[in-house]
Amino acid sequence: MSQAHEAARDALLALQAEATPAQETPFVARLRAEARDAFAAQGLPTTRWEEWRYTSLARLVESRFALEGEDTATPSREEAESVAFPVFACGLFVFVNGQFAPSLSRPATAGGPVRVESLARVLTESPETLEPWLGQLASSKEHPFVALATSFLSDGAVVTVPRSADSQTPIHLVFLTTGDEPHLCQPRVLIRAERGSRALVIQDFVSISKQGGHLRNAVSEVFLEDDADLGLVTLQRGHPRSFLTTGLFARQERNSRFASHVVTLGGQLVRNELQVTLAGEGAECRLDGLFVAGDGEVIDNHTLVDHAVPHCTSAELYKGILDGDGKGVFRGRVVVRPDAQKTAADQSNPNLLLSDGAEIDTKPQLEIYADDVRCSHGSAIGRLDEDALFYLRARGLGEEEARRLLVSGFAAEVLRGLPDEALSSTLMEELRKRLGRREPGARA
Amino acid sequence: MSEAEPRTNQELHEIAGREYEYGFVTDIEMDLAEKGLSEDVVRLISSKKDEPEWLLEWRLKALRRFQQMLAEDTEPTWAQISYPKIDYQDMRYWAAPKQKPQLESLDEVDPELLRTYEKLGIPLEEQKRLSGVAVDAVFDSVSVATTYKAELEKKGIIFGSFSDAVRDHPELVRKYLGSVVPYSDNFFAALNSAVFSDGSFAYIPKGVRCPMELSTYFRINAQETGQFERTLIVAEEGSYVSYLEGCTAPMRDENQLHAAVVELVALDDAEIKYSTVQNWYPGDENGVGGIYNFVTKRGACRGKRSKISWTQVETGSAITWKYPSCILQGDDSVGEFYSVALTNKRQQADTGTKMIHIGKNTKSTIISKGISAGHGQQSYRGLVRMGPKAHGARNYSQCDSLLLGDQCGAHTFPYLEVKNASATVEHEATTSKIGEDQLFYCRQRGLSEEDAISMIVNGFCREVLRELPMEFAVEAQSLLGISLEGAVG
């Protein structure tokens, strides 16, 4: 660890000591203390760590963060709604700098059978209901950022989809970052899809800060019981100068189905850790991702699919679009445990480099300890197809327009797969705007 | 699983339990150094070989680097392999046949040695006359017989032992030694640079196409002797050479360390084809004995339009740690890597390649086929790097693994790093077992299960095997057959 890393760690530890816990429930106190020790022991990762070799925290360790939201006023409802993606007829739950803001939320309108509660409130009123779940999937020992988040554990969302409930309306969790002083904001999400239930949850990380510079460090734990069917969409539209680290940990029981979509449209440094454990036979997961990095941005997706039992299926598609001197990192690890026969695992990671300064480092990784399996991965890196460009130009499209069309087409494979149509078209539009931001003359 | 399983398993055990066919010991007098690694040992090796001062200095620098790494405990641990810690002071760093023969014909060679080669199925005389292969047979550490040297000399090709090259062409050795794999490159390369015993040297002059395959058969013989080979091949402008390396080793209980270094240099328009069949003792079914093979192989495509092609068939060794690589410096240069790696019993292999694209329009192809049976564990570990100036560079990689049995593992760790938008990289990997339906189809047509497996495996590896020169392709196919028969999943 460099001196800068040590100093940054110590500053964060000091901050943690300052943040007085709101509750004194023994198991929460223990979780926090263990996490604090784990974070102190690990420190902030350097590029010498195999899992961080392509992602440098140099700029993050130079920053100092305040505790969340000291300088901020709660934004107005209009402000919140204008930045949140317009998913119509959903249950909207807004968290400002990590804290639940009931005044901005409209849980009653169309929440349906799904229960969404503020974590802080549950921790005060009935903490014992969380003990079997909280911190069970997200390991502080393995992930320093999870340790950091857990050591601060205070607020976030607890989503419960009751047994056999079939929620027609999506649950939209909006994590708003506001304020101009760089601060640390660590929302925690716990989702439980009970036996035979069905729901769609959207986690939306959005910033309305002018200055940026925040560190948002979110951890989500997702439990799918037998036959549950859960869609989870994670939207990340960071400020171009802020840091976002997330950990998403899911565990699937028998015959459950999990579909995760992670769409990242920028941020100075974004690191997503996604781990799915297929723990019950017949479970299926689909992990999709789209990341777009422009000038000065680094987007890093680390995924792990753990086939722990036989007869499970996983499919993964992560697409990267890198422009300017943007950098993308993808590590897709698939582990098939010794007894996990009849596993089918597919993974694909195509990437598009739009300019000469752009960079992609990708590492698809298969670790297979069972024999009766069918596993594959593929990765491709290239620029836009010249023939396709020519074809479009020949039909009268301008060069920029033709490029944008092709890039949108590349991204559409992921975006069209989103479980909500309104969301998918909004995101397509957002992407087109994002691509329009390219400086003219930046050529492949 | 089919009902035929019990019988199949029985067959499996019978054949898996088959003794290593090439396990025997040649009893000839050995000249051994004391155990341990020290400056004295390095000086002893250097003086035994009458080396010039600069080479001794180079060895000593490497030794200091190695001792430093040893003290810092930086022996690499990132590979997917596990083995007991090696005590580098508990082995000998020098062993040579008592007398170093200076022979023109095979008649003068120790008959005991010749019998060894016969058992190995390498009839030197036959090869000399029929196959047109020049054989530089390295017995343990020192070359004892070099054939066809005279014929190669006519073309200006220098091919012989590394020691001879140091004596006869010091300027060439000095110019290129360590220029591709520096002595400080990695842990095992530093060890090799300090104590390398001998190896092969080939120099192909400008515009010469080497008329025959150059071949060296290595053989580890002395017990408790690490073998530290050093190979250097230089292909001048517009030249071509195909080089074969093949190995078998006698059965031993004690693990033997092998840390070789191979350096290739290809200048403008030159092409080097390097083929390896490696069949060292893999250890018994409990993983006892067997060779530890830690090899650094690297080729530099320095010249424009140069080409280096690695082909390897790895069936032996308890542990394989080997990444033949290409540094594609020259514009339009080409790197290739074709590999079949087979692990059975308790074998572990972590192998792959690095393709470092620096020049414009450089191209590389990686075809890796891994077969895992028994308790074998194997990993493909590869790096494709497209530098910022590698405009128009291309890479295609394919890594397939075949699993035979439910106790083995196959892993893939590809690293793709691209810093140039005009570069194209494609990577594909699959892992599967032999299909029941494929087997059934073959059985139905009267093939035994073993023949069917052997046929399917050979088909699986065909893309690699066809890159091998004739002589090797035959050997490799039967090797795969022997190593795999009965390993039915």
Q: Considering chain B, what is the average pLDDT of its residues?
A: 78
Per-residue pLDDT, B486: 53
User: Among B403, B414, B415, whose Cβ lies nearest the Cβ of A368?
Assistant: B403
Torsion angle (degrees, nearest 10) of CA A10, A12, A17, A22 = -170
User: Among B78, B408, B430, whose Cβ lies nearest the Cβ of A371?
Assistant: B408
Q: Do B430 and A376 touch (CB under 8 A)?
A: yes
Single out the residue of A218, A221, A219, A233 nearest to residue A193, CA to CA: A221
Single out the residue of B293, B297, B425, B431 nearest to residue B366, CA to CA: B425
Query: Which 3-state string (H, E, C) describes chain A?
Result: CCHHHHHHHHHHHHHHHHCCCCCCCHHHHHHHHHHHHHHHHHCCCCCCCHHHCCCCCHHHHHCCCEECCCCCCCCCHHHHHHHCCCCCCCEEEEEECCEECHHHCEHHHHCCCCEEEEHHHHHHHCHHHCCCCCCCCCCCCCCHHHHHHHHHCCCEEEEEECCCCECCCCEEEEEEECCCCCEEECCEEEEEECCCCEEEEEEEEEECCCCCCCEEEEEEEEEECCCCEEEEEEEEECCCCCEEEEEEEEEECCCCEEEEEEEECCCCEEEEEEEEEECCCCCEEEEEEEEEECCCCEEEEEEEEEECCCCCEEEEEEEEEECCCCEEEEEEEEEECCCCCCEEEEEEEEEEECCCCCEEEEEEEEEECCCCEEEEEEEEEECCCHHHHHHHHHCCCCHHHHHHHHHHHHHHHHHCCCCCHHHHHHHHHHHHHHHHCCCCCCCC
B269: region left, alpha or beta (phi > 0 left; psi from -120 to 50 alpha):
left
- The model's pTM: 0.83
Per-residue pLDDT, A18: 79
Q: Do B416 and A361 touch (CB under 8 A)?
A: yes
Q: Tell me which residues of chain B, numbers 341 to 380, contact chain A at a CB-CB cutoff of 8 Å.
A: none
Mean pLDDT calculated for residue range A426-438: 79
Sign of the Cα pseudo-torsion (A79, A85, A88, A94, in order): negative
pLDDT tens, residue by residue, A120-175: 889 888 888 998 999 999 988 889 999 999 998 888 999 999 998 888 788 888 88
Residues of A in contact with B404 (CB under 8 A): 371
Q: B198-204 and B158-161: which strand pairing?
A: antiparallel
Instruction: Quote the tokens at residue A435.
Output: 């691509």
State how far residue A167 is from chain B, nearest Cα, in angstroms: 38
State how far residue B459 is from chain A, nearest Cα, in angstroms: 19
User: Among A356, A363, A383, whose Cβ lies nearest the Cβ of B414?
Assistant: A363
Question: Which has more pLDDT, A247 or A67?
Answer: A247
Sign of the Cα pseudo-torsion (A64, A65, A70, A72, in order): positive
Per-residue pLDDT, B352: 92
Cβ burial of A351 (10 Å; 0-12, 13-18, 19+) is buried
Per-residue pLDDT, B17: 52
pLDDT tens, residue by residue, B337-365: 999 998 888 888 899 999 999 999 999 99
Instruction: Quote the tokens at residue A42.
Output: 């690990």
Q: Do B418 and A444 touch (CB under 8 A)?
A: no
State how far residue B312 is from chain A, nearest Cα, in angstroms: 22
Give residues with Cβ within 8 angstroms of B250, minimum separation 6: B22, B23, B24, B25, B26, B220, B221, B281
Per-residue pLDDT, B127: 40
Contact B469, B244 (CB under 8 A): yes
User: Looking at the complex, does the CB of residue B403 fall below 8 Å from at least one CB of chain A?
Assistant: yes
Q: Do A381 and B416 touch (CB under 8 A)?
A: yes
State how far residue A403 is from chain B, nearest Cα, in angstroms: 14
Q: Tell me which residues of chain A, numbers 139 to 168, contact chain B at a CB-CB cutoff of 8 Å.
A: none
Q: B30-32 and B95-97: which strand pairing?
A: antiparallel
Per-residue pLDDT, B180: 92
Single out the residue of B245, B186, B253 nearest to residue B216, CA to CA: B245
* C-alpha R_g of chain A: 21
Structure confidence at residue A337 as a pLDDT band (50, 70, 90): very high
Cβ burial of B171 (10 Å; 0-12, 13-18, 19+) is exposed
Structure confidence at residue A414 as a pLDDT band (50, 70, 90): very high
Structure confidence at residue B102 as a pLDDT band (50, 70, 90): very low
Contact B138, B113 (CB under 8 A): no
Q: Rounded to an integer, what distance in angstroms lies between the CA atom of residue A221 and that of residue A204?
A: 16
Q: Tell me which residues of chain A, numbers 40 to 79, contact chain B at a CB-CB cutoff of 8 Å.
A: 50, 54
Q: Rounded to an integer, what distance in angstroms lies between the CA atom of residue A360 and that of residue A299?
A: 10
Is residue B45 predicted with pLDDT exceeding 90? no
Best to test chain B binding among A53, A337, A377, A381 (most B CBs inside 10 Å): A381
User: Looking at the complex, does the CB of residue B414 fall below 8 Å from at least one CB of chain A?
Assistant: yes
Q: Rounded to an integer, what distance in angstroms lies between the CA atom of residue A235 and that of residue A291?
A: 10
Instruction: Quote the tokens at residue B290.
Output: 């067997």
Q: Do A381 and B414 touch (CB under 8 A)?
A: no
**CB contacts < 8 Å between A and B, how many?**
116
Is residue B296 predicted with pLDDT exceeding 70? yes
SS3 B102: coil
Q: Tell me which residues of chain A, numbers 376 to 405, contact chain B at a CB-CB cutoff of 8 Å.
A: 376-383
pLDDT tens, residue by residue, B211-220: 877 876 543 4
Q: Do B406 and A338 touch (CB under 8 A)?
A: yes
Instruction: Give B281-284's long-range contacts (Cβ < 8 A, gap of 24+).
Output: B281/B20, B281/B22, B281/B23, B281/B249, B281/B250, B281/B251, B281/B252, B281/B316, B281/B317, B281/B318, B282/B20, B282/B315, B282/B316, B282/B317, B282/B318, B282/B344, B282/B345, B282/B347, B283/B318, B283/B345, B283/B346, B283/B347, B284/B345
Minimum Cα–Cα distance from B434: chain A residue: A372
Q: Rounded to an integer, what distance in angstroms lies between the CA atom of residue A27 and that of residue B94?
A: 62
C-alpha dist (Å) from residue B333 to A383, A438, B234, B301, B427: 22, 34, 16, 6, 20
Question: Which has more pLDDT, B451 or B175?
Answer: B175
Residues of B in contact with A54 (CB under 8 A): 417
User: Looking at the complex, does the CB of residue B398 fall below 8 Å from at least one CB of chain A?
Assistant: no
Give residues with Cβ within 8 angstroms of A27, minimum separation 6: A127, A131, A134
pLDDT tens, residue by residue, B110-152: 565 555 555 555 545 444 433 334 455 544 444 434 556 667 7
Per-residue pLDDT, B222: 41
User: Among A351, A358, A368, whose Cβ lies nearest the Cβ of B431?
Assistant: A368
Which stretch of A382-386, B14-18, B430-434 has the lowest confidence by average pLDDT? B14-18
Minimum Cα–Cα distance from B424: chain A residue: A382
Sign of the Cα pseudo-torsion (A110, A112, A116, A122, in order): positive
Q: Do B421 and A356 touch (CB under 8 A)?
A: yes
State how far residue A331 is from chain B, nearest Cα, in angstroms: 9
Q: Tell me which residues of chain B, numbers 63 to 92, contact chain A at a CB-CB cutoff of 8 Å.
A: 78
Domain boundaries, chain A: 3-280
Best to test chain A binding among B355, B380, B416 (most A CBs inside 10 Å): B416
User: Among A375, A377, A383, whose Cβ lies nearest the Cβ of B422?
Assistant: A383
pLDDT tens, residue by residue, A342-377: 999 999 999 999 988 899 999 998 899 888 888 888
Q: Do B417 and A361 touch (CB under 8 A)?
A: yes
Which stretch of A168-182, B236-250, B443-457, B473-487 has the lowest confidence by average pLDDT? B473-487
Is residue A437 predicted with pLDDT exceeding 70? no
Structure confidence at residue B21 as a pLDDT band (50, 70, 90): low
Single out the residue of B223, B230, B217, B222 nearest to residue B276, CA to CA: B217
Q: Do B421 and A360 touch (CB under 8 A)?
A: no
Q: Rounded to an integer, what distance in angstroms lies between the CA atom of residue A310 and that of residue B149?
A: 60
Q: Do B421 and A444 touch (CB under 8 A)?
A: yes
Q: B240-248 and B271-279: which strand pairing?
A: parallel
Q: Do B411 and A367 touch (CB under 8 A)?
A: yes
Single out the residue of B469, B23, B21, B25 nearest to residue B277, CA to CA: B469
Structure confidence at residue A444 as a pLDDT band (50, 70, 90): very low
Contact A113, A162 (CB under 8 A): yes
pLDDT tens, residue by residue, A195-253: 999 999 999 888 877 777 888 999 999 999 999 999 999 999 877 788 999 999 999 99
* C-alpha R_g of chain B: 22
Q: What percent of chain A has pLDDT over 90?
A: 43
pLDDT tens, residue by residue, A243-297: 999 999 999 999 999 999 999 988 889 999 999 999 999 999 999 999 999 888 9
Per-residue pLDDT, A394: 92
Q: Rounded to an integer, what distance in angstroms lies between the CA atom of residue A389 and that of residue A383?
A: 11
Single out the residue of B263, B241, B375 nearest to residue B327, CA to CA: B263
Q: Do A378 and B427 touch (CB under 8 A)?
A: yes
Alpha helices in B49-110 (DSSP H): 53-71
User: Looking at the complex, does the CB of residue B406 fall below 8 Å from at least one CB of chain A?
Assistant: yes
- Residue B104 has what DSSP assignment? S
Residues of B in contact with A341 (CB under 8 A): 406
Single-letter code of the amino acid located at A144: P
Residues of B in contact with A364 (CB under 8 A): 412, 414, 427, 429
Give residues with Cβ within 8 angstroms of B164, minimum separation 6: B143, B201
User: Among B412, B425, B432, whose Cβ lies nearest the Cβ of A381?
Assistant: B425
Contact B250, B22 (CB under 8 A): yes
Structure confidence at residue A66 as a pLDDT band (50, 70, 90): confident
Residues of A in contact with B412 (CB under 8 A): 364-367, 377
B320 phi and psi angles, rounded to 5 deg: -120, 130
Residues of A in contact with B386 (CB under 8 A): 381
Residues of A in contact with B489 (CB under 8 A): 371-372
User: Looking at the complex, does the CB of residue A363 fall below 8 Å from at least one CB of chain B?
Assistant: yes
User: Looking at the complex, does the CB of residue B402 fall below 8 Å from at least one CB of chain A?
Assistant: no
Minimum Cα–Cα distance from B436: chain A residue: A372
User: Looking at the complex, does the CB of residue A372 fall below 8 Å from at least one CB of chain B?
Assistant: yes
Give residues with Cβ within 8 angstroms of B60, minimum separation 6: B39, B42, B194
Q: Do A356 and B420 touch (CB under 8 A)?
A: yes
Q: Considering chain A, what is the average pLDDT of its residues?
A: 87
State how far residue A443 is from chain B, nearest Cα, in angstroms: 10
Best to test chain A binding among B417, B426, B433, B453 (most A CBs inside 10 Å): B417
